[in-house]
Amino acid sequence: MTPVEVNVERQGGEEGGGRRHPNTCPECRSHYRDDELRHAQRVCAQCGHHFVVGAMERIDQLVDPGTFVEIGGDLRAADPLAFVDLKPYTDRLMDAELQTGLGDSLVAGYGRIVGRDAALAVMDFSFMGGSMGSVMGERFCLAADHAVAYGIPLISVTGSGGARMQENILALMQMAKTVGAVDSLREEGLPYISILAHPTTGGVIASFASLGDIVIAEPGALLSFAGPRVVEQTTGEKVAADFGRAESNLRLGQLDAVVPRRELRGELAKLLTLFSPTEDEPTGDREPLMTIVEGDANPIDKVLGRLGLGRRRG
């Protein structure tokens, strides 16, 4: 599970000695405006390069507006090993939370995609390299639990450098734990669709992310167990430029499709339709009023929220 150090944007600001405009596409060198890029779902308008997308923005892109509800948002990493490298693990966690506004590297929940219900587990590479620790694993399982409780499909979007070394063996065990969650979906006959974004490597691709009934990748995504640098360093083999890229993986039979981001929501809607019983039109209103999902902060608030009522906080 050698976590891979990936240059996410392959931006190389200083490379070549010259100073470059900060908003330069790493692929075609064209310049972009932040709001334009965001509006274009972070895909370069000139060359189609896919930039990394954060978890909340990804959810916005995929899910019907106003339908997403988070599960397990109150979970936070503990530090049972009292791990300190050049910096204490707790400091790294705090920095990551302040930087991203997320509690960990995965946001779990449920929502509707073109009217069809799905449980969601969406990773964020900017939170400690999308590393997999106890909280990430538990949140993935909570999303799977929700899928099982409601009999709906699970969709995951991954972006990860691998397991979180600061939790060592507990991080490794999240592989078995998340695979177990996929097994529970299989036992119930529920579909699991795995979307691999750049980069999905190490323990995440070697566990749940590879086990989708359907596995889809974004163009150009690096998808490998060991990263190119680790391969070069350990084996001395020369690594080709397209090593582990989505397109190579498709050619080598590891994927069902490489789907550009703009088409992702449509493809997901199609798959959700294909996996649902025939003639089952999306009603979007089949949700039971209340079930208690472990990890929910307060199920009562959720019910009140669904009824359009609110409860005073504090």
Partner 1 sequence: MRIRSTRCLGAWDWGDDVVRVSDEVRRLRKRFEARAEESHIWDAVQLARNPDRPYTLDYAERLFTDAFELRGDRAFSDDEALITMLARYHGQTVVAIGHQKGRDLSERTRRMFGMPHPEGYRKAIRAVELADRFGYPIITFVDTPGAYPGVNAEERGQAGMIARSILAFCQASVPIVSTVIGEGGSGGALAIAAGDRVLMQQNSIYSVISPEGCAAILWKDSGQARKAAYAFRPTANACLDLGVIDRIVEEPKGGAHEDVDAAAKFLDDAIRQSLQQAEMIPAAERRRARRAKFRQMGVWGVVDEPTIQDF
Q: 10 to 39, contacts with partner 1 by CB under 8 A?
A: none
Choose the contact partner of 44 out of Zn ion, partner 1, none; CB within 5 to 8 A by kind.
Answer: Zn ion
Residue ranges in 140-179 that form contacts with partner 1 under rule CB under 8 A? 141, 163-177, 179
Residue 284 touches which member of partner 1, Zn ion, none, C-beta under 5-8 Å by kind? none
Q: How many residues bind Zn ion (CB under 5 A)?
A: 7
CA distances from 257 to 47, 130, 186 (A): 20, 23, 21
Residue 216 in contact with Zn ion, rule: CB under 5 A:
no
Which of 61, 248, 273, 276 touches partner 1 (CB under 8 A)? 248
Q: Which residues are CB-neighbours of 61 under 8 A, at least 6 positions away?
A: 41, 53, 261, 264, 265
**Structure tokens given for 159:** 């972006």
**Token pair in block for residue 162:** 């691998």
Residue nearer to partner 1 on the CB measure, 25 or 175: 175
Task: Pick between residue 29 and residue 186 the one whose CB is nearest to partner 1.
Answer: 186
Of 98, 129, 165, whose CA–CA distance to 7 is shortest?
Answer: 129
For tokens 């300190």, name the residue: 84
In the region spanning residues 23 to 82, those forming contacts with Zn ion, defined by CB under 5 A, are 25, 27-28, 44, 46-47, 49
Closer CB to partner 1, 230 or 269, in the complex:
230
**Which DSSP helix (H) or strand (E) runs through 34?**
helix 34-39
Partner in contact with 25, chosen from partner 1, Zn ion, none, beta carbon below 5 to 8 Å by kind: Zn ion
Given Zn ion, partner 1, none, residue 47, with its beta carbon under 5 to 8 Å by kind, binds Zn ion
Residue count, binding to partner 1 (CB under 8 A):
92
CA gap 136, 202 in Å, rounded:
14
With tokens 């392959």, the residue in question is 10
Contact between 250 and partner 1 by CB under 8 A: the answer reads no
**Interaction between residue 286 and partner 1 (CB under 8 A):** no
Round to whole Å and give the CA distance between 16 and 211: 41
Pick out residues in 78-117 that bind partner 1 (CB under 8 A): 78-86, 90, 93-94, 97-98, 101-103, 107
Instruction: Give 70: exposed, middle or buried? Use CB within 10 Å, 0-12, 13-18, 19+.
Output: buried
From 143, 126, 130, 162, select the one nearest 42 (Cα to Cα): 126
Please tell me whether residue 61 binds partner 1 under the rule CB under 8 A.
no
Binding of partner 1 at residue 299 (CB under 8 A)? no
Positions in the binding site for Zn ion (CB under 5 A): 25, 27-28, 44, 46-47, 49
